Amino acid sequence: MAGFIINGGKTLTGRVIIDGAKNSALKLMAASILTGGRTRISNVPIIEDVLTMAEMLQGLGVKVRADQKEKILEIDSSNINNPEASYELVRKMRASILVAGPLLARFGQVKVAIPGGCNIGSRQIDLHLKGFESMGAIYSIEHGYINCHISRSKGGGRLKGAVIDLDFPSRGATENIMMAAVLADGRTIINNAAMEPEIDDLVKFLISMGADISGQGTASLTIEGVDCLSGTDYSVMPDSIEAGTYIAAAGMCGSDVIIENARHENLEIFFLKLKEIGVDIDVVDENTVKVSSPEKRGRATNVSTLPYPGFPTDLQPIITVLLSTAKGVSIVTENVFENRFMYIDELNRMGANIKIDGHHTVIDGVEKLSGAPVRAFDLRAGAAVVLAGLIAEGVTEVSDIFHIQRGYSDIAGKLKGLGADIRVVK
């Protein structure tokens, strides 16, 4: 299995370009099912998760043509013949369940594997199912699969608009329900909806297909169902979490690193925390920032993850690396996922002093980290140990990097371009 070998202590400088957002591209691909026509999606990140979603769509009978060099996908969903998301693919990538809403809306039925737990804890899909149920679908669970179809007693062919109050602003549930609602009969209102910028991107994509959605950017989305949607041509927004990862790398060991396609309006609270730590961030224009690390060790601060516009849980492992060598004691609180601290022991193996107490970590900043063999436990935890390797003294070997490759396109190449000493080994 492949790994990264990182020789720490190099100063990063130069320019890095951020790719399209994974967490938008996957949803736009799923939403392409809603039309019987063709969609063209550009600025798609070429990462494992996108390839898995392409495989998922192909399994349904969708034709997907990928131009990896140009980062473009052409999707023709006119001949879907198998409305089923297999366990093999849902297990590999939970976002596969995002095909459920579109398939249900277009074909009145779907069979989708129950995802099960993952490395950041139990991840329910009850809110997705409750939403479908409110719109007139009925479901049963058998042999690890959810069979869902539109109830004949509620009119048969089409889902019915409904008012859906989410218990928690789940991104996946907001997206799945919204995609189901765009072809429903009547008006659907989703209250306590997730507000992440990627949700906005999906709203814009659906509107460009002919959907009628208002309330964009707020916690209440109103969707007036339409009879059909057409194909579209759309460019994916830049990835804020990828941007945050390189900004953090530059904030630890960078000098005037220019990060392009970093939409700072999506990263406000992250920037606020980095500034508290002492990272020097200069907003060059709406898509570009210049970042340098503090001359000495940064300052401790406290961080609490929350749904947008709160501090993003996906950047929690990333900022923890910065805090691991900051002066003083920091507390990081994880409020979105139940078990997102698996990587802490890896940082401690590199010399960090971090204690876990329930859903908090107490980080007593150390002078320096030292290179060690470490594992990537999941996508963002994996990126965190790579960042730790960049500042550690000596050599860090990161194994299980397939987790990282699920969501970062050529992370080794991009870091190397900034002057890091990192290589991929088999």
Provide the binding-site residues for ligand UD1, judged by CB under 6 A: 23, 26, 94-95, 123-128, 168, 170-173, 194, 313-314, 336-337
CA distance 235 to 233: 7
Number of helices and strands in the chain (H, E):
14, 24
Give the shortest CB-172-to-ligand UD1 separation in angstroms: 3
Give least dist CB 336 to ligand UD1, A: 5
Contact of 215 with 252, CB cutoff 8 Å? no
Instruction: Concatenate the DSSP letters of all residues of 321-346 into one string.
Output: HHHHTSBSEEEEE--S-S---TTHHH
259: nearest Cα among 295, 283, 235: 283
CB atoms within 10 A of CB 28: 29
- In the complex, minimum distance from the CB of residue 342 to ligand UD1, in angstroms, rounded to a whole number: 14
- Tokens encoding 89: 């693919």
Please state at what angle helix 379-391 crosses helix 240-253, rounded to 10 degrees.
Answer: 20
Question: Is the CB of 231 or the CB of 238 nearer to ligand UD1?
Answer: 238
Q: How far is the CB of 177 from ligand UD1 (least distance, A)?
A: 10
Q: Shortest distance, CB of residue 244 to ligand UD1, whole angstroms? A: 12
Query: 137 vs 253, which CB is nearer to ligand UD1?
Result: 137
Between the CA atoms of 241, 242, 245 and 250, what dihedral angle is there, to the nearest 10 degrees? Answer: -130
Q: 138 vs 226, which CB is nearer to ligand UD1?
A: 138
Q: How far is the CB of 34 from ligand UD1 (least distance, A)?
A: 18
Say if residues 159 and 134 touch (Cβ distance below 8 Å). Answer: no
Q: Is the peptide bond before 238 cis (omega within 30 degrees of 0)?
A: no
CA 248 to chain centre: 17
Cβ-based nearer residue to ligand UD1, 88 or 126: 126
Return d(Cα 424, Cα 404) in angstroms, integer.
12
Minimum distance of ligand UD1 from residue 421's CB (angstroms): 29
Q: Catalytic one among 118, 148, 228, 253?
A: 118
- Nearest residue to ligand UD1, scored by beta-carbon proximity: 172
Burial 198-222 (b: 16+ CB within 10 A, else e): bbbbbbbbbbebbbebeeeeeeebb
Least distance (Å) between residue 239 CB and ligand UD1: 11
Specify whether the CB–CB gap between 313 and 305 falls below 8 A: yes
The two tokens of residue 406 are 């699920």
Cβ-based nearer residue to ligand UD1, 271 or 337: 337
Is 118 among the residues known to form the active site? yes
Q: What are residue 12's DSSP bridge partners?
A: 254
Helix (H) or strand (E) holding 188: strand 187-191
| Distant-in-sequence, close-in-space partners of 258: CB < 8 Å, separation ≥ 6 | 14, 15, 16, 284, 288, 289, 290
Active site residues: 118
